Chain A
Amino acid sequence: MENYEIVVIGGGPAGLAAAIAAKQNGMEKVLILERDRELGGILNQCIHNGFGLHTFKEELTGPEYAERFIHLAQQAGVEYRLNTMVMDISPDKKITALNRAEGLLEIQAEAVILAMGCRERSRGALNIPGYRPAGIFSAGTAQRLVNMEGYLPGREVVILGSGDIGLIMARRMTLEGANVKVVAELMPYSGGLKRNIVQCLDDFDIPLKLSHTVIDIKGKERVEGVTLAQVDEKGRPVPGTEEEYSCDTLLLSVGLIPENELSREMGVELNPVTSGPQVNESLETSVDGVFACGNVLHVHDLVDFVSEEAEAAGRHAADYIRKKRKDQTEVKRTEALSEIEQVPLLTGAGVRYTVPSFIRPEQMEDSLKVRFRVGKVYRNCYVNVYFNEEQIIHKKRPYAAPGEMEELTLKKEQLTEFPGLKKITISMEEA
C-alpha cells in the first residue's frame, strides 16, 4: 500500500489545477491518476483557440492551455501516473487502480479530489428510432478522431445539438473538406456561445435550425440520411414539417453528463439536477475529506472557471488535512453535514442549480463565489438573493441564458452577521 496526502482522480484541467494548488498550499505528496496516455484531458483535442482569456489574459488553444498547467504541475512536484484506471475508492479513501506496468495498485490517501470530468450523452439517451448504422458519432468522438487520430469520420454531415462542441465540429469538419449541411437544435435557443455561432456556422453559411430535431435515421449499414422536423413548445415533432437530408454522418452534441460512477459507489450524495456531487462551501462532498471540482461537479462552459474552481478545491483539501492534523483527534464527520451548522443554498424561480449546495458560514473564506445556471433566456432581469425571507442582493443583469454559467459573490460577514440564518435562496426576476 502506498500513501499520499492527496490523490487527484483525473489529470485534465480540473485535476491539474487542484494538484498544483494543493502543492502550493504546503502538501508534500500529491498524486494524479490519469487513465489516458497524457495529461491535459479533453483540452488535447480542443485545438481551437479561445481558452485562457481569464487565466492568462491571452487567447490560447486547448493544447497550449493544457501544456501551461502541465508545466506548472511538474514544477510544483506533482506526481502522476498515466494509463492508470481507478476502479474503486472506499469511503476511508483507499484507492484501487490498475495499469499495465504495475498491475493492481492500492493507495491510501488522506484526502481525495474528484476531477473525472464528464462524458457525452449518446444516441441511446435520445430515443431516435431506426437501425444502428455506422456513421453516428458524438461530436467529441469525432473531434478526437479528426484532431488527434488523423481520421475524417464522414463527408456529408448533419449535426444534432448546438452545444459548443457541435458548433466547433461544424467548422472543423468543413475545414477538413466535409459538407456540413445543417445544425439542428431542439431548443428555441442555442446552448453554444454566440462567438461560436458566428465563427463556426455563419462564417461557412451553415444553417442553424432552432426548435428542430432528428426524428428518423435512414440506412442500415451506414447512415444514408436523416429526417428533421420542427418541434412544438413541448418538444414534440410537428407533423408536416419533416425535411429529408441525405448524409453519411450524424454528429450528436446533445449534452454532457458528469462521470460519477466512482463517486456514487463510494456513497457521495449527488445532485439530481447537475448529476454531480452535492458540495459545501469548501467543495467537499458528503464523504469526509473527498472534494470535487470541474466538470465532474457540474458542466462548465469555460475552462478558465474550471481551473479557478479546482484551485479552490486543492486549497480546501490541503486545509482539511492541516486542520485534521492539528486536531489530532478524528473529528466525526460522517454526520458532518447535519452536525456542523450549515445553511442550504436553495434554487428559487428560474434557477436550475447552485454550486455549492450548502454553506457553513464559519468555514467560509472572506468571500465565496456561488455558481448557478438559469432555466431559460432572460433579458434585463434581476438576480435576487434571500437570507431566510429577506432580500439581501438585488442585482440587474442585461442578459442571462442556460448556456452561460452565472456567478455571484457572498461575503462571509454577510452570513455570520445575519441573525438566525436558516436558508439562502437565489432566484431570477423578470424586469
Chain B
Amino acid sequence: MEKRYLTCIGCPMGCALTVTLNGKEVVSVEGNTCKRGKVYGEQEVISPVRTVTTTVVVEGGNLPAVSVKTRTDIPKEKIFDCIRVLKKVRVPAPVRTGQTILCDAAGTGVDIIATKTVESR
C-alpha cells in the first residue's frame, strides 16, 4: 500500500494529511480535522487539478504581453504542456478580457482566455 503525504488547503489550519492508496483506490485519509480534508485528500491523489495562469506575447499592443488563464481547472500533470504551447502563441492587439486566446490547450479540452484588456499601440 502506498502512502502519500499532503497539506490540506481547505483552511488556514493546513492539516497534515496521510492518504493511503491501494493501487488507484483510496483506502484512508488520516490527519484531517474536518470533512473537507477527507474530500481534498481523495481528490488530490486521484485527479489533482489546477488553474494555470501565465502571459502571452501581444503584437502591436500598448503592453508587451497579456495575462491569461485556463478557463477552468486542468489536470495537474498538464501544467507544463499548457505553458509550452502558450510560449509559441502570438496574439494581435487589441485583446479583451475574456477573449479566447487558444482553444483546447494541450489536449485538455480547456480554452485559454485573456484576463486583461490590452489596447492597440
Which residues on the B side are within 8 Å of A176 (C-beta)? 54
Q: Does A194 contact B (CB under 8 A)?
A: yes
Q: Choose from A67, A149, A150, A203 the contact partner of B76 (Cβ within 8 Å).
A: A203
Q: Does A64 contact B (CB under 8 A)?
A: yes
Contact B51 A49 (CB under 8 A): yes
Q: Choose from B14, B54, B80 the contact partner of A47 (Cβ within 8 Å).
A: B54
Q: Which residue of A lies closest to B98 (CB)?
A: A64
How many Å from the CB of B53 to the closest CB on chain A?
5
Complex interface residues of chain B between 57 and 87 (CB less than 8 A to chain A): 57, 63-65, 67, 69, 76, 79-80, 83
User: How many A-B Cβ pairs are below 8 Å?
Assistant: 76
Contact B97 A64 (CB under 8 A): yes
Q: Which residue of A lies closest to B118 (CB)?
A: A63
Contact B12 A404 (CB under 8 A): yes
Interface residues on B, range: 20 to 34
Contact A194 B54 (CB under 8 A): no
Q: Does B117 contact A (CB under 8 A)?
A: yes
Q: Does A422 contact B (CB under 8 A)?
A: no
Contact B64 A150 (CB under 8 A): yes
Complex interface residues of chain A between 14 and 29 (CB less than 8 A to chain B): none
Q: Does A131 contact B (CB under 8 A)?
A: no
Complex interface residues of chain B between 1 and 42 (CB less than 8 A to chain A): 6-9, 11-14, 33
Contact A399 B13 (CB under 8 A): yes
Which residues on the A side are within 8 Å of B52 (C-beta)? 175
Contact A67 B117 (CB under 8 A): yes
Contact A147 B9 (CB under 8 A): no
Contact B67 A147 (CB under 8 A): yes
Complex interface residues of chain A between 350 and 369 (CB less than 8 A to chain B): none
Q: Does A193 contact B (CB under 8 A)?
A: yes
How many Å from the CB of B51 to the closest CB on chain A?
5
Which residues on the B side are within 8 Å of A379 (C-beta)? 13
Which residues on the B side are within 8 Å of A403 (C-beta)? 12
Which residues on the A side are within 8 Å of B67 (C-beta)? 47, 61, 63, 147
Contact B54 A175 (CB under 8 A): yes
Q: Which residue of A lies closest to B54 (CB)?
A: A175
Complex interface residues of chain A between 43 and 78 (CB less than 8 A to chain B): 44, 47-49, 59-61, 63-64, 67
Given A63-B116, A203-B76, A398-B33, CB of A193 within 8 Å of CB of B12: yes
Contact B116 A203 (CB under 8 A): no
Q: How far is the CA of A193 from the CA of B50 in the complex (A)?
A: 16
Contact A49 B14 (CB under 8 A): no
Q: How far is the CA of A216 from the CA of B99 in the complex (A)?
A: 47
Which residues on the A side are within 8 Å of B76 (C-beta)? 203
Q: How far is the CA of A60 from the CA of B14 in the complex (A)?
A: 23
Q: Which residue of B lies closest to A403 (CB)?
A: B12
Q: How far is the CA of A166 from the CA of B29 in the complex (A)?
A: 30
How many Å from the CB of A375 to the closest CB on chain B?
16
Q: Does A198 contact B (CB under 8 A)?
A: yes
Contact B12 A401 (CB under 8 A): yes
Q: How far is the CA of A399 from the CA of B9 in the complex (A)?
A: 14
Given A198-B7, A203-B76, A398-B33, CB of A47 within 8 Å of CB of B13: no
Q: How far is the CA of A175 from the CA of B52 in the complex (A)?
A: 10
How many Å from the CB of B70 to the closest CB on chain A?
9
Interface string of B94-121 (1 = CB under 8 A from A): 0001000000000000000001110000
Contact B8 A67 (CB under 8 A): no
Can you pick out 16 interface pairs between chain A and chain B where the beta carbons lie within 8 Å of each other? A47-B67, A49-B51, A49-B69, A59-B51, A60-B115, A61-B69, A63-B116, A64-B116, A147-B65, A148-B63, A150-B64, A175-B80, A194-B7, A194-B9, A197-B14, A199-B50
Nearest 4 CB-CB pairs, A to B? A194-B14, A47-B67, A63-B116, A150-B64
A residues touching B (Cβ–Cβ < 8 Å)? Answer: 44, 47-49, 59-61, 63-64, 67, 146-150, 175-176, 193-195, 197-199, 202-203, 379, 398-399, 401, 403-404
B residues touching A (Cβ–Cβ < 8 Å)? Answer: 6-9, 11-14, 33, 50-55, 57, 63-65, 67, 69, 76, 79-80, 83, 97, 115-117
